[in-house]
C-alpha cells in the first residue's frame, strides 16, 4: 500500500478517524512554521488559522474596493449634476473641467469636438487631423497608457512636456465618435493599460450626452 492508497482509503472511509480519534494526538507532523513536531489536531488548528487570516485579508480588500467604488460613484454623481445644471456650453465645460481637476485630481484636461451641428470659437473646436479621428473612431473602450500621439499631447498646452500618462475617452453620437476627452497626468502609473475603464466609459457617455444637448 502506497501513500495514494492510504489517501484514497481515508476519503472512502470518512468514519475511520472518528472511530480512531486517538490518532489525532498520537501522530505528529512538522510544524508549518518551524521544525518541531506537533499533533495532527494542532496542525489542523494552524491550517484553520492560516485560512482565516487569508479570508480576513480578502474581506478587507473587498471592503476597500467597495469604499473606493462608492467614492468614485459619488464623484460621478456630482459630475452628472453639474452637467445637467449647465445652461450653456461654457457652463458645461466649466463643470466638466472643474470636476476632473477638483474631484478626480486630474491636473490636465483637454476636449476636442468635431462633426457637431453647432460649432464655437475656441480650442475645443480646433481642427483635428484625420489620424486622430481614425484613432478615436477605432476605440471600443477608453485608452489608458503612455501618451503616444503627440498631437493629442499638445492639447495640454504648456503642461504637455510633463504629461507621462493619459486617458483618452471617445465621445459618441450613437456609433459615431464626434469628440475626445483627454486626461493627462504627470504620474506615469496614474493611467495604465491594465486599469479598469468602466467609470471612464460612463463619464464619456455623460459628457457625450451633455454635448449633444448643447451642440446637436
The upper half-sphere exposure of residue 102, i.e. CA atoms within 13 Å in the direction of its Cβ, equals 9
Strand partners, 176: 173
Count of structural domains within the chain:
2
- In which domain, by residue range, is 22 found? 16-72
Q: Are residues 99 and 39 both part of a single domain? A: no
Residue 210: inside a domain, yes or no?
yes
Instruction: Check whether residue 138 and residue 196 sit in a common domain.
Output: yes
pLDDT tens for the chain, 216 residues: list them: 788 887 788 788 878 767 776 776 666 667 666 666 666 667 777 778 888 888 888 888 788 777 777 788 899 999 999 999 999 999 999 999 999 999 999 989 999 999 876 667 789 999 999 999 999 999 999 999 999 888 999 999 999 999 999 999 999 988 899 999 999 999 999 999 999 899 999 999 999 999 998 887
Is 65 domain-assigned? yes
pTM to 2 decimals?
0.70
Same domain, 115 and 35: no
Instruction: Say if 78 falls within a structural domain.
Output: no
Beta bridge partners of 165: 185
CATH code where residue 102 lies: 3.30.450.40
Residues 55 and 105 in one domain: no
Instruction: Indicate if 121 and 169 belong to the same structural domain.
Output: yes
**List of residues 6+ apart from 27 with CB closer than 8 A:** 39, 40
CB 206 within 8 A of CB 79: yes
Q: State whether 68 and 114 are in the same domain.
A: no
Does 113 share its domain with 150?
A: yes
Residues 143 and 207 reside in one and the same domain: yes
- Asked if residue 116 and residue 37 are part of one domain, the reply reads no
Verify that 67 and 155 share a domain, yes or no.
no
Amino acid at each position: 500500500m502506497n501513500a495514494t492508497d492510504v489517501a484514497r482509503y481515508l476519503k472512502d472511509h470518512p468514519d475511520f478517524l472518528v472511530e480512531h480519534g486517538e490518532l489525532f494526538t498520537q501522530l505528529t507532523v512538522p510544524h508549518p512554521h518551524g521544525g518541531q513536531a506537533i499533533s495532527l489536531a494542532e496542525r489542523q488548528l494552524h491550517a484553520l488559522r492560516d485560512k482565516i487570516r487569508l479570508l480576513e485579508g480578502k474581506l478587507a480588500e473587498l471592503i476597500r474596493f467597495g469604499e473606493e467604488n462608492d467614492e468614485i460613484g459619488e464623484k460621478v454623481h456630482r459630475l452628472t449634476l453639474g452637467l445637467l445644471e449647465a445652461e450653456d456650453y461654457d457652463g458645461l465645460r466649466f463643470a466638466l473641467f472643474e470636476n476632473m481637476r477638483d474631484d478626480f485630481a486630474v491636473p490636465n484636461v483637454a476636449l476636442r469636438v468635431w462633426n457637431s451641428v453647432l460649432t464655437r470659437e475656441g480650442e475645443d473646436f480646433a481642427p483635428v487631423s484625420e489620424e486622430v479621428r481614425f484613432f478615436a473612431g477605432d476605440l471600443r473602450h477608453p485608452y489608458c497608457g503612455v501618451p503616444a500621439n503627440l498631437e493629442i499631447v499638445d492639447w495640454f498646452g504648456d503642461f504637455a512636456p510633463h504629461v507621462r500618462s493619459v486617458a483618452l475617452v471617445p465621445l459618441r453620437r450613437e456609433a459615431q465618435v464626434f469628440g475626445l476627452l483627454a486626461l493627462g497626468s504627470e504620474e506615469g502609473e496614474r493611467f495604465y493599460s491594465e486599469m479598469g475603464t468602466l467609470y471612464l466609459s460612463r463619464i464619456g457617455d455623460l459628457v457625450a450626452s451633455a454635448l449633444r444637448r448643447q451642440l446637436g
